[in-house]
Structure 1
Amino acid sequence: MPHRWSPRQSLLLCLLAAGCAAAPPPASAPCPEPPPALGHSLPTEAELSAEHERLVKAYRTNDVPALERSLAPDHVHNNVFGMIQGKEELLADMRAGTLVFRAYEITSSSWSLKPDIAVVTGTLRAEAERAGKPVPSQDFRFTRIFVKREGVWLEWLFHNTIIAAPRK
C-alpha cells in the first residue's frame, strides 16, 4: 500500500524543497541552475515585491476583498498562536473583527524565485488584536510562499513566529 502523506507532512516537504532549491550548491560541487521550463520565465524580485506590498497593505488596512483576491483558495495561514487556518477561516475572523490589524510593516525580506513559486522570508512589525486582546508581541519572523496560478501570483502559505527577546 502506498504511503499517504498528511497535510502537515506535505507542507513540510514543500518547505524543505523550497529551502533546498534556494540554498546555493556547495563550492566543491557546483551545479548550474537548470533553465526555466519552456514558456516559463523567472519572475523578478521587483514583480514579487510589488505583489507582496499589495498583500501587506491589505493586511494593514484589514481589506478583506483584496485578501480574497490575493490568497490562494487552498491558502494555509499558520499564526503566532499555533493555529492553522485556511483562507475562509482567516477571512471570516477578519470580517467578524476577531482579528484586527492596527499596523503591519515588513522590516526585512529575502527572496528565492522560481518560475511558478516564490518564497520570501524576513521580519515584520505588526500590531494586532485577536478576540479583543492584543497580540503579545509586535516583532515576528515570517515565511510566505507565493504560487503562480493562471498567470496570477497568490499567497499560498504564511507562517510567522514571535521573535524572542535576547536572553540576558
Structure 2
Amino acid sequence: MQNFTDHKRASKHLYRNGRHFGAFIVAILIAGLLMPAHGQGTQQSAIMAAETARLDAQVARDTKTVASLLAPTATYIHANGSVQAKDEFLADLEAGKIRHRDVSLTDRVVELRGDVGITHGKIDLTVGADRRISGRYTGVYAQEGGTWKLLSWQTTPIQPGTPEPAGISR
C-alpha cells in the first residue's frame, strides 16, 4: 500500500485507480440485482427436494409418501396423454400398473410466482420392463401446511431427432 503524504498525490492515485473501483461497484450492484430475493433460493431448494422425494417414492412404489406430497386435487398428465386424478394415480401406482424403474431429471429450473412454484426441465425414465421415455416436464407446486405439494404434472415426450432448445432456462 502506498503512503500518500499530500492530498494531491492521493487524489491522483484514486482518480487513476478509481476506474477499477467504479467497475467493481457496478459489478457488485449488478450481481445484487441478479440474485434471488432473500429466502427465494431456500424455497426453490425445498421445491426441488419435494420433487425429488416424490419421484424417488414413485420408483419405490411408496404410495404413502407420494400421497403426502400430492395436493388433494393433483392431476397427472402422462407422456402418452392420459390424465389421472390423485386417487386414480395412487391406486395404479400401488397396483403396479404404473411402474417407474428409474427417473432422472436434468436442466431443472424452479420459478416462484407468489405461493406457487413452477418446475420444468428434462426427464428420462424407464417404465415397465424396459420402456425408455425422454421428455420435457412441467410441475406446479403450492405450499400447504409448510410442505410443497404437487398440483399438476405433465410430461411431453421428446421425439427422436428433436433439437435441444436454446435459451429457455431462466
State TM-score, norm by structure 1. 0.67
Equivalent runs, 1:13-32 vs 2, <5 Å: none
Which structure carries more helix by proportion? 2
Question: CA shift at 1:145, angstroms?
Answer: 0.3
- Judge conservation of contact 1:59–1:104 (CA < 8 Å) in 2: no
SS in 1 for 2:107: strand
Does 1:147 find its partner at 2:142?
Answer: yes
Identity of matched residues, %: 21
What's 1:125 paired with?
Answer: 124
Map of 1:78 onto structure 2: 77
Q: How many residues align?
A: 124
Residues 139 and 163 in structure 1, CA contact (< 8 A), matched pair in contact too: yes
Determine the C-alpha separation between the residues in 2 that align with 1:162 and 1:134.
Answer: 16
User: How far apart are the structure 2 equivalents of 1:138 and 1:84?
Assistant: 17
Matched-pair contact (CA < 8 Å) for 2:58–2:93:
no
Q: CA deviation at 1:151?
A: 2.4
Q: Does 1:163 align with 2:162?
A: no
CA deviation profile, 1:23-73 (whole Å, cap 9, x unmatched): xxxxxxxxxxxxx9xxxx745322222222211211222211110100111
Structure 1 segments of 4 or more deviating over 3 A? none
Map of 2:100 onto structure 1:
101
Structure 2 residue runs of 5 or longer lacking an equivalent are 1-36, 163-170
Greater gyration radius: 2
Post-superposition offset of 1:134:
5.3
C-alpha separation in 2, matches of 1:47 and 1:97? 29
* Unpaired runs of at least 5, structure 1: 1-35
Q: What's the secondary structure of 2:53's corresponding residue? A: helix
2:82 aligned with 1:87, yes or no? no
Whether contact under 8 Å (1:113, 1:119) holds in the other structure is: yes
Where do 1:63-74 residues align within 5 Å? 63-74=62-73
Report the Cα offset of residue 158 of structure 1: 0.2
